Amino acid sequence: MKSQSVVTELRRKVFCEVARVAYESDNPSADLEEIPYLITPDEIPKYRESIYRERQIAAERVRLAMGLSLRPENKPVSITSGVDKSNIAEKYYEPPLMQVIPSACDKCPDNEYYVTDQCRNCVAHSCIKSCPKGAISIVNGKSYIDQSKCIKCGKCKAACPYDAIAHHKRPCASACGVKAISSDDYGRAHINTDVCVACGQCMSACPFGAIADKSQIYQLIQAIRKDDEVVAAVAPAIVGQFGPDVTPGRMKSALLALGFKDVYEVAVGADVGCVAEAHHYVKEIATGNLPFLFTSCCPAWAVLVKKQFPDLASQVSRELTPMVATARSIKVKRPNARVVFIGPCAAKKLEASRRTVRSYVDFVITFEELAGMFDAKGLKLNELEELPVNIKATGAGRGYACSGGVASAIENCINEYYNGTEVKIKHAEGLFECKKALMLAKSGKLNGYMIEGMGCPGGCVAGVGTIIPPERAKAEVDRLVNSSAEKVPPKEMEDLAEKLTKMD
């Protein structure tokens, strides 16, 4: 399968090698130390100025892939330091989830204007005339910007007739909708964990692969090797991620080949949620008892509300997210099962570690991490047996994977169960737009609305743990929704939602 970039290829190789050690090794410490040399086997560097730097970065990726923190830069610490404590199925992430690998960061310019070779030293000197601080002069026959005087207003760039002035910003900082990224004392990217909501957009934006999240694949495979009752709860966004020939039946074959005991559809949990949300909207919002309703299925959006708009936090829905509803329903039938949520989202890893969720969701891995596990086992998914699958979810629950799909599912349920109720919807995708929606809500301009927020532009199909481009993923999900035999779940699911909620 063609990857989207060299960065994702390198990440996948690390996941593959860590998974291979977890599945096969009787001497994991020695084999884990060897992985950087498997990732960069030659003596000539491919991507950095030094083979030693490449191996240093690979070593830090190995640690993050095992759920461990980065090593200190001023102390001798082995790659496998802490493995013994981490080599258990119950291990959760040591915060923070998102980390900048110092040796990988290229110290990108942070909001800097500079003159390129396109400058023709024209007579007009529009750039010089436009600068309010006198920061521009002619040096060696072209314009030059004195960074100590520049106030980053951009007037010079707008004035230049040749577009000879470039504006450089850190890609990671530009992608961060909550402004959690700044520079450290060495000019490297720094993530403010008090502000970060773990959406992972910075990770996907960094062209140097300097930002990565922690994984649980090593601990998950330990549970599989112990023959625990490990079951997969798969998000609807998985459709199409592993190729057009990988049907639900073949995906089930692949997951069983990895050691999972069974496979469940998370969209069933979404069905439970949208029935409950429909009832809540009609009872509380449409009647004016409460001003508005925030959806809760996107953890980055929910954390954004709680961190930056705490006075609105009470309006975040208390209904179970699809992941949690599915996990709880599995535990009712299989109390000894270890539930693994497999989806596109990095922020779900932190949601699963919350106190109220931990006893139900045991592991969270992304599609990208799952691909590494498939590689470690040498599985060719399009050649696997087509196993029968028990399809239970409706189009409403499956549509949660795309931006606007949550609100649409709830609206369709309201129209089905409470015909004649007016439904007002506002949906926002990407944290920049989410913040705008929250400011409108705070000012009273969205009273009576159901407000859906998605941290990733495009929704879950654009999550940082996905494999294929978001537009292709959305088309696949749309086809799945349209082919669903049932469009909305039965109203009786409201009773199930109440039962699962009381499991707290």
Q: pLDDT tens digits, the chain, 504 residues: what are they?
A: 555 789 999 999 999 999 999 999 988 889 999 999 999 998 999 999 999 999 999 999 999 999 998 998 788 888 988 877 766 555 556 678 999 999 999 999 888 999 999 999 999 999 999 999 999 999 999 999 999 999 999 999 999 999 999 999 999 999 999 999 999 999 999 999 999 999 999 999 999 999 999 999 999 999 999 999 999 999 999 999 999 999 999 999 999 999 999 999 999 999 999 999 999 999 999 999 999 999 999 999 999 999 999 999 999 999 999 999 999 999 999 999 999 999 999 999 989 988 777 779 999 999 999 999 999 999 999 999 999 988 789 999 999 999 999 999 999 999 999 999 999 999 999 999 999 999 999 999 999 999 999 999 999 999 999 999 999 999 999 999 999 999 999 998 888 888 888 886
Structural domains of the chain, ranges and CATH numbers in brackets: 1-87 (no CATH), 112-168 (3.30.70.20), 229-492 (no CATH)
- What is the distance between the alpha carbons of residues 498 and 271, in angstroms, rounded to a whole number? 13
Per-residue confidence (pLDDT) for residue 89, from 0 to 100: 54
Preceding peptide of 96 cis, ω within 30°: yes
Q: Is 406 exposed, middle or buried (0-12, 13-18, 19+ CB in 10 A)?
A: buried
Per-residue confidence (pLDDT) for residue 504, from 0 to 100: 67
pTM for this entry: 0.93
Tell me which residue of 214, 490, 219, 422 sits closest to 340, measured CA to CA. 219
Per-residue confidence (pLDDT) for residue 168, from 0 to 100: 92
Asked whether 407 and 415 are in contact (CB, 8 A), the reply is no
Q: Locate 286 and state its tokens.
A: 């449409």
Per-residue confidence (pLDDT) for residue 2, from 0 to 100: 53
Helix H or strand E encompassing 415 = helix 405-417
Helix H or strand E encompassing 263 = strand 262-265
Per-residue confidence (pLDDT) for residue 93, from 0 to 100: 66
